[in-house]
Amino acid sequence: MTSFARSRAHPRAGARVLAISEWDQAIAVARRDPVSYVLALVHMEAGFESGYSTGEVWGYPESGPLSAVCWAGANIVPIIPEPDFSPSERSDVLESFSQLALRMGRRCSSIVGPSSDVLALWELLDGSWKQPREIRPRQYSMAITQPPRVAPDPRVRYARSADFDGVFPASVHMFHEEVGISPLSFGSAYYAARVQELIEQRRTLISTKPATNCGTPDAPDAPATAGRVLFKSDFGAVASSVAQVQGVWIDPEFRGRGLSVAAVAATVVYGLRDVAPTVSLYVNDYNSRAVAAYRHVGFEDVGMCATVLF
């Protein structure tokens, strides 16, 4: 990890909090690499359009045209497009963002983005913020713009409101596996609303095991139960011509049967057809099975991300 000196109390050019009316400039910076910065673009585009946001955007330099920005909300995302900066200039940008972050205190649940910038920013904050639960230093950023190389699973479809009772526990299980804590710890109503929102926006895809009849000898005409969710994926972040796939999950009982490749291929088909011309995702490098599956589908490596989880 590169060492970024703390000795300069005042970097050459500082950063400042931008007014929402200025966010169009920040969006233009982030759109230079929309795959890397789609998580931030989702919030910045919505905030600029509505005039309201629960997060902030920090701009660098403090005066003059913006060359780098940072989204600061539930996540912190440093946005320093390549290849505009020398190592020393990049150091100044990250130092400026760290000064704002230290002044305001930690309010985020993670720092996310290109690996070198995320790890360097955390190095500047380490010792002042509480220690993270986990640091994931190597996450492949992948993207696909062409039809998948394998046949899609025809059983994959958009989830409907009637599927909520199957999608919700699958989503909880996925989140707990991926993040290490239950999403219900933040409030079950909040997470349920998010799952329902994705379903209503046609952003959740599923395949299900065929429904079974609930009838009993006393009630032979009882309605069939909803099919059991075997596969789930979400277009969890959609902005600036990119649909980022999140929440990919296979029922543990059905793992190892080769379901994921065709199901992910179906996700790509829906994404390219209905959502955006680029479908992206990022995956931990140690998840070799998932990495191999995504590459088999046709995803190509486009960068390396990192996540610091609090």
Residue 262 confidence (pLDDT) above 90? yes
DSSP letter at 88 equals: H
| pLDDT at site 187 | 75
- C-alpha dihedral, 178 to 179 to 182 to 185, nearest 10°: -160
| Higher pLDDT pick, 183 / 132 | 132
Mean of all residue pLDDT scores within the chain: 90
| pLDDT at site 12 | 59
Residue 212 confidence (pLDDT) above 80? no
| pLDDT at site 188 | 81
Thinking of the domain 157-302, which architecture would CATH place it in? 3-Layer(aba) Sandwich (3.40)
d(CA 164, CA 185): 20
CA dist 253 → 167, 175, 241 (Å): 16, 17, 35
Residue 92 confidence (pLDDT) above 50? yes
Rg (CA), the chain: 21
List Cβ neighbours of 41 (8 Å cut-off, separation of 6 or more). 27, 30, 31, 34, 237, 239, 240, 242
Omega of the bond prior to 83 within 30 degrees of 0, cis? yes
| pLDDT at site 216 | 43
pLDDT above 90 as % of the chain = 80
Residue 179 confidence (pLDDT) above 70? yes
How many angstroms separate the most distant Cα atoms in the chain? 80
Matching residue, tokens 């931990």: 284
d(CA 307, CA 297): 24
Q: Sorting pLDDT into bands at 50, 70 and 90, what band is 219?
A: very low
pLDDT in tens, 44-79: 999 999 999 999 999 999 999 999 999 999 999 999
CA dist 144 → 98, 270, 308 (Å): 33, 12, 26
Q: Sorting pLDDT into bands at 50, 70 and 90, what band is 200?
A: very high
| pLDDT at site 226 | 53
Q: Across residues 109-118, what is the average pLDDT?
A: 97
Thinking of the domain 16-131, which architecture would CATH place it in? 3-Layer(aba) Sandwich (3.40)
| pLDDT at site 7 | 40
d(CA 305, CA 21): 29
What residue segments make up the domains of the chain, in order of their start?
16-131, 157-302
d(CA 96, CA 103): 11
| pLDDT at site 13 | 75
Q: Is-contact 143 280, C-beta < 8 A?
A: yes
| pLDDT at site 229 | 95
Residue 213 confidence (pLDDT) above 80? no
CA dist 158 → 165, 248, 269 (Å): 15, 14, 12
Q: Specify the 3-state DSSP secondary structure of 14.
A: coil
Q: For 262-278, give the DSSP string.
A: HHHHHHHHHIIIII-SE
| pLDDT at site 11 | 45
Q: Is-contact 118 284, C-beta < 8 A?
A: no
Q: Across residues 142-154, what is the average pLDDT?
A: 97
